[in-house]
Amino acid sequence: MHPAFSIIVFTTASGMGYGLATVLGLGLLDPAALSTKLAHVLALGLIGAGLVSSTLHLGNPQRAWRAFSQWKSSWLSREGVMAVVAFVPLCISAWSVIFEDACLDWAGLIGSGLSLLTVYCTAMIYASLRSVDAWHTRLTPACYLLFALAGGTLFASFFASAGESSAAHGLSATAIALLIAAWVVKIRWRRRLKNLTPLSNPESATGLGAIGRVRLLERPHMTENYLTREMGFRIARKHAEKLFRLALIFGGAVPIVLMVLCLLPGLSGGLTALLLFVAVLSHALGILLERWLFFAEARHAVMNYYGGREQDLRAV
């Protein structure tokens, strides 16, 4: 699948934003600290930026409001509805922290729950598509949720240490555990992808398998079309391996090592905050790579009509 920049930025930014909002909603950070107020603003900003970015690839963004109507059947619609619904408690809770120096527990907790639900809806847009084998698994929402939680906790630990809150150490330790869990699930997701037998093949796609092995002789046209541009993206396996390793290093190893350093006694508050800030940036870069691969490595069933199997062989 074609890795559209706007969608990758959207899932990365909104994932981290919702993750941060989820942790902030628990009310562990001191509402009087400036850093906590900034954290609330940043969470809302990331979520908002993600949502705006997601409308960039629409053909008719001016009608985007219509996307709230079909929540009964469509995960994309559910995501839109949940995003708007979640904004209400998130804004109330941010208001109370920023202007009243107080945590509103009920708003925070409802905001946390709705944030996670929104991330789940985003993941289900992909996981519900049977036409893309790589995505059609329960592991897809598991990865999205764990990455959002891990990134959010890491982010929160940075704001906690910047505000010299006692919660910083606990948050770092939790973020380490969540990051490990997220990458373990992600590695399982990818192993499944590599070992899977495609649900459909050129034989079933054409119904001609009874005669023999089916091979594309001629495409309908010589140049690319919407389908081959959108679904025909292929990445050579050797590059994919390298990128996945980079994602694992930036998104997992570097933040974990930095957080372990921060847990060591004797580090000054300023240095801890700086290390955690680098950890957050590195994590965001790793997740961008991970999301890019999420699309680039996924193969769509329609490619069975466009010489998909031969294309796979060539891309190795």
Partner 1 sequence: MTSLPALPTPKKLGLVIDLDVCVGCHACVVSCKEWNTGGYGSALSDQQPYGADVSGAWLNRIHTFEIMPESGEVVGEAGEARIVHFPKSCLHCEEAPCVTVCPTGASYKRLDDGIVLVDEEKCIGCGLCAWACPYGAREMDLAAGVMKKCTLCIDRIYNETLEEVDRVPACVRTCPSNARHFGDLADPDSDVSRMVAVRGGIDLMPEQGTRPVNKYLPPRPRKPLAAGTSSLPKAENTDDAKGFLAWLDGMLDRI
Residues of this chain that bind partner 1 (CB under 8 A): 1, 57-61, 63-64, 66-70, 72-77, 80, 125, 128-132, 199-200, 202, 204-208, 210-221, 223-227, 230-231, 300-302, 304-306
Structure tokens at 187: 């590695």
Smallest distance, Å, CB 224 to partner 1? Answer: 6
CA distances from 288 to 42, 85, 257 (A): 18, 26, 20
Q: Which residue, chain included where needed, has tokens 């996307």?
A: 67
Least distance between partner 1 and beta carbon 308 (Å): 11
Are 93 and 107 contacting, i.e. CB atoms less than 8 angstroms apart?
yes
Cβ distance to partner 1 smaller for residue 30 or 297: 297
**Spatial separation of the C-alpha atoms in residues 280 and 271, rounded to whole Å:** 14
Nearest distance, CB of residue 291 and partner 1, angstroms: 16
Residue 147, exposed/middle/buried by CB under 10 A (0-12, 13-18, 19+)? buried
Smallest gap from residue 47 Cβ to partner 1 (A): 18
Nearer to partner 1, 122 or 165 (CB): 122
Could you tell me the two tokens for 139?
């592991």
Grouping H, G, I as helix, E, B as strand and the rest as coil, residue 242 is helix
Minimum CB distance to partner 1, residue 202 (Å): 7
Rg over CA atoms, the chain: 22
203, burial (CB in 10 Å: exposed 0-12, middle 13-18, buried 19+): middle
Q: Which tokens is 207 given?
A: 């119904």
Cα separation of 248 and 287, whole Å?
9
For the bound state, the minimum distance from the C-beta of residue 175 to partner 1, rounded and expressed in Å, comes to: 33
If you search the block for the tokens 């009087």, which residue do you land on?
32
CA distance 194 to 34: 47
Nearest CB to partner 1, comparing residues 69 and 241: 69
Least CB distance to partner 1 at residue 223 (A): 5
- The CA distance from 142 to 140, in Å, is 5
Choice between 30 and 79, CB closer to partner 1:
79
CB of 67 to partner 1, least distance (A): 4
Annotate 150-172 with DSSP letters as a single string.
HHHHHHHHHHHHHTT-THHHHHH
* Identity of the residue, 219 or 238, whose beta carbon is nearer to partner 1 in the bound complex: 219
Instruction: Considering the complex, state which of residue 206 and residue 238 has its C-beta at the smaller distance from partner 1.
Output: 206
Least distance from C-beta 312 to partner 1, angstroms? 17
Which residue number, 35 or 74, has a Cβ lying nearer to partner 1?
A: 74
DSSP string, 55-72: HTT-S-GGGGGGGGS-TT
Query: Looking at beta carbons only, is 216 or 285 nearer to partner 1?
Result: 216
Whole-angstrom Cα distance, residue 49 to residue 53?
Answer: 6
Closer of 162 and 231 to partner 1 (Cβ): 231
